Amino acid sequence: MTLTDFTGLDDIRAALGVSVDEISDATLSLPLYVNNLVASLLQVDPGIITLFNTKRAIPEGNRTADEYMFVIIFPVYCTYIVAQQLTVSLPLFSPKEITDGQAGFTRYSQDPYKETKKGIAQMLDGYYNQVTAVLALLTSTTAQEYKPPTVMRVSTIGYDPVVGA
């Protein structure tokens, strides 16, 4: 599995507000990021990856509204899972200044990304709620006929105390 099976590398950079110069495709393609993503998804639901692949394989015109929503929201949710993981090291890979003269750059001495981290966490929470809501709709078994619970039943005694049998 690769990260591009779930989301685009440019989408992750866009969520963080960085360029390909700051986070290369080779860096984003490290197993660390896809393994973390898969582990996070499996915590949501063990069958979520299989469900996504199944729904994505359905031609667009043949999907239900819920399937269509799931196929659209799931990759965005994946983007923010990876982006949140990258916010830990965001001040390290995002230089303050890049110069052309000596191919040098300057890093931040303090973390100026507090608002970015907060925004990514909020977006991740929002997309988590959307994905789990659509997931519940897709995996529910509400198509079964409703049967009211049985409250009282007639029972017969296996032993008759009057006759003794």
| DSSP SS3 for 51 | helix
Kindly state the average pLDDT of the residues 16-44: 91
Residue 72 included in any domain: yes
CA distance 27 to 44: 26
User: 113: Cβ–Cβ under 8 A, 6 or more apart, which residues?
Assistant: 87, 90, 91, 94
Residue 165 included in any domain: no
H-helix or E-strand spanning residue 47: none
Overall domain count for the chain:
1
Residue 163 included in any domain: no
CA distance 98 to 123: 29
Q: Report residue 143's pLDDT band, with 50, 70 and 90 as the boundaries.
A: very low
pTM of the model: 0.74
Residue 18 included in any domain: yes
Kindly state the average pLDDT of the residues 21-47: 92
Strand partners, 145: none
Residue 159 included in any domain: no
Domain hosting 88: range is 3-139
